[in-house]
């Protein structure tokens, strides 16, 4: 056992380019190399993911700005539209007023539409990596695996390659169509009308529909691919069988999904509460 450890520690690290190629075509071999010999390739994957976490935000910033201004105009129009008295003819629809100049300048500020969202997204990705690595490490050790947090963190980062590819395709889509992705993942199966904030506020959809919409929005081919790679990472690093590795990964994914879904439901719960109070 001691001799094997010495031989493994003196092996040359896996070249980054070879690791990246194997990560796509032979992922099991790639994670075995990461676990036994180490590689700098996981750093390149991490940089790729962070870059394409920010780029969709940058290319979507002008569209996001217009969407916010349209929402403000819609709310103002509802507030100022007069209600005719009994027997009075219906008045002409009030044209939407422009938001105050200071509001427009604030919304147009890159700090609001690009910098803060980008920093928040980057921190979210890094914290997510650390949470995943910590949870997988603890569960692997609990089930009798051999694991080190540093190696598990590297494996989690490398397994997030599909997340970066998703960001790449989102960037290309937004740039080509000049529109946001309204229903990511499988959420189009249970669509919500998020374009009209006044309608969403006046008649919010059922909570079950909101939960299902947000849950399906987190499921796509990139999610499945990433879970597959993460399973192989746990298998190679913790030396667990693939069934245990998959169950660990699935459990952590369910936990992370629940933690992410809760904040997204708060605005809809608030709208539902306000509607019931108003009724």
Give residue limits of the domains in the chain. Answer: 13-77+98-278
**What tens digit of pLDDT does each residue of 212-265 get?**
877 888 889 999 999 999 999 999 999 999 999 999 999 999 999 988 887 766
For residues 226 and 159, is the Cβ–Cβ distance under 8 A?
A: yes
**What tens digit of pLDDT does each residue of 129-185 get?**
999 999 999 999 999 888 889 999 999 999 999 999 999 999 999 999 988 887 787
pTM to 2 decimals? 0.78
Cα–Cα distance for residue pair 254/258, rounded to 1 Å = 6
**What tens digit of pLDDT does each residue of 49-64 get?**
999 999 999 999 888 7
Write the DSSP assignment of 154-184 as a string of letters: HHHHHHTHHHHHHHHHHHHHHHHHSS--SS-
């Amino acid at each position: 056992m001691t001799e094997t450890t010495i031989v493994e520690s003196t092996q040359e690290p896996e070249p980054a380019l070879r690791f990246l190629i194997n990560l796509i075509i032979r992922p099991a071999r790639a994670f075995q190399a990461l676990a036994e010999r180490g590689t700098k390739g996981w750093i390149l994957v991490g940089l790729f993911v962070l870059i394409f976490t920010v780029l969709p935000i940058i290319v979507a910033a002008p569209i996001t700005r217009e969407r916010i201004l349209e929402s403000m105009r819609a709310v103002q129009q509802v507030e100022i539209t007069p209600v005719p008295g009994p027997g009075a003819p219906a008045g002409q629809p009030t044209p939407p007023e422009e938001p105050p100049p200071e509001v427009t300048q604030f919304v147009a500020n890159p700090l609001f539409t690009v910098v803060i969202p980008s920093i928040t997204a980057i921190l979210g990705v890094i914290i997510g990596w650390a949470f995943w690595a910590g949870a997988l490490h603890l569960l692997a050790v609990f089930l009798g695996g051999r694991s080190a947090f540093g190696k598990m963190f590297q494996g989690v980062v490398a397994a997030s390659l599909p997340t970066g590819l998703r960001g790449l395709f989102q960037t290309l889509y937004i740039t080509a169509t000049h529109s946001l992705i309204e229903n990511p993942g499988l959420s189009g199966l249970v669509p919500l009308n998020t374009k009209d904030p006044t309608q969403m506020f006046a008649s919010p959809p059922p909570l079950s529909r909101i939960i299902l919409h947000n849950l399906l929005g987190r499921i796509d081919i990139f999610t499945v691919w990433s879970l597959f790679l993460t399973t192989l990472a746990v298998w190679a690093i913790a030396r667990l069988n693939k069934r245990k590795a998959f169950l660990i990964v699935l459990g952590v994914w369910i936990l992370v999904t629940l933690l992410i879904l809760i904040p997204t439901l708060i605005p809809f719960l608030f709208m539902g509460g306000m509607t019931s109070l108003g009724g």
